[in-house]
Homo-oligomer: A and B are copies of this chain.
């Protein structure tokens, strides 16, 4: 793959450009928003494309919102701009159905979706390593040419991601479960805080902060995603809503002294434990059982450097670190995750050097 056209220089399109440029691919960029194209170019994602200019591209990547994918695809195919085509929208079934409806060539087009994103949007938030080691769904149909599919797989490999082949409908149901419905559920929990008293908010801690973190996302952007995957998301939301309504009914029965309602609550909590435990760890495999060393730190420059200096001295690799600040006080706790057999080594080394390891 030598030349790629990227149509749409938002976060994902620009990040693909950056990744491909690092691998020596010639990248041309286009976007309705000329400012976005210019920023993407300045970041090193490729050169600006003037429609009609140059040779036929090896691949065109359509990086626009789901409801614009099919029309853009048709426009490019009519001008024979590239040998092969893909898109990277977060919803797959509807754009494919629309492309068939518009009479697009379904042999040279294979839809795909990188499972990577950020809370920030736009070319300025792009990163060459956005897709590194991430799953990237590829959704060929029975009409897809083998060569087109290979071209998309090469794109995925060049971006450092892992191709996961999945039918478009299965993809849409999966992202409804792992991304779209959780977003709405987080919003519904956070909506309670919008109405709550200051005293209530004053009692909020890390738990509710984590549950509602993704609810901070842009409502306009998310309306587009949710409506593009409406039926699968609605199905998951109905199941979550039903579970919560049943839990509420069981709790009201318990309140009335009906102890036979307890197992229903416990069952939901247990299913939650199982489901939570199935999420792969950050390294892609099953969640690794790291050991955690807790260290009291002062909230001032140099403390963390000294802490990690000790890890370095004793040859311990830090797998993760989490800072817990004490609200209102310049003191905190660092939780350093390391391989289980490194816990004792690190704990003793910190003790010897006078660190407070509770």
User: Are A251 and B280 in touch, CB under 8 angstroms?
Assistant: no
CB within 8 Å for A241 and B230 given contacts A211-B185, A280-B201 = no
Complex partner residue of A276 from B215, B230, B248, CB under 8 angstroms: B215
A256-300 vs B, CB cutoff 8 Å, 1 = contact: the mask equals 000000100110111111111111111111000000001010011
Complex partner residue of A135 from B194, B202, B207, B254, CB under 8 angstroms: B202
Please give, as numbers and ranges, the residues of chain B lying within 8 Å of A249 by CB-CB distance. Answer: 234
Main secondary structure of the interface of A (DSSP, over half): helix
Complex partner residue of A190 from B220, B272, B323, CB under 8 angstroms: B272
A: interface residue count bin: 35 or more
Among A189, A245, A268, A318, the most chain B Cβ lie within 10 Å of the Cβ of A189
User: Are B278 and A252 in touch, CB under 8 angstroms?
Assistant: no
A243 at the interface (CB under 8 A from B): yes
How near does chain B come to A233, taking the closest CB pair, in angstroms?
6
How near does chain B come to A288, taking the closest CB pair, in angstroms?
10
Complex partner residue of A280 from B204, B254, B268, B273, CB under 8 angstroms: B204
User: Are A189 and B193 in touch, CB under 8 angstroms?
Assistant: no
User: Are A265 and B226 in touch, CB under 8 angstroms?
Assistant: yes
A52 at the interface (CB under 8 A from B): no
Please give, as numbers and ranges, the residues of chain B lying within 8 Å of A220 by CB-CB distance. Answer: 266
- Nearest CB in chain B to that of A228: its residue: B254
- What is the bound-complex CA distance between A50 and B98, given in angstroms? 78
Please give, as numbers and ranges, the residues of chain B lying within 8 Å of A209 by CB-CB distance. Answer: 279
User: Are A211 and B238 in touch, CB under 8 angstroms?
Assistant: no
User: Are B219 and A233 in touch, CB under 8 angstroms?
Assistant: no
Please give, as numbers and ranges, the residues of chain B lying within 8 Å of A241 by CB-CB distance. Answer: 241-242, 244-245, 248
Please give, as numbers and ranges, the residues of chain B lying within 8 Å of A185 by CB-CB distance. Answer: 185, 188-189, 211, 240, 244
CB within 8 Å for A207 and B189 given contacts A241-B241, A241-B245, A309-B305 = no
User: Are B255 and A244 in touch, CB under 8 angstroms?
Assistant: no
A343 at the interface (CB under 8 A from B): no
Complex partner residue of A129 from B115, B195, B304, B331, CB under 8 angstroms: B331
How near does chain B come to A131, taking the closest CB pair, in angstroms?
9
User: Are A275 and B191 in touch, CB under 8 angstroms?
Assistant: yes
- What is the bound-complex CA distance between A217 and B200, given in angstroms? 22
- Nearest CB in chain B to that of A219: its residue: B269
User: Are A215 and B275 in touch, CB under 8 angstroms?
Assistant: yes
CB within 8 Å for A279 and B325 given contacts A210-B213, A305-B305, A358-B128 = no
List chain A positions with a Cβ less than 8 A from chain B. 115-117, 127-129, 132-135, 137, 160, 162, 164, 166, 170-171, 173-175, 177-179, 181-197, 199-205, 207-217, 219-220, 222-223, 226-227, 230-231, 233-245, 247-249, 251-252, 254-255, 262, 265-266, 268-285, 294, 296, 299-302, 304-305, 307-309, 311-312, 315-318, 320-321, 323-329, 331, 333, 358
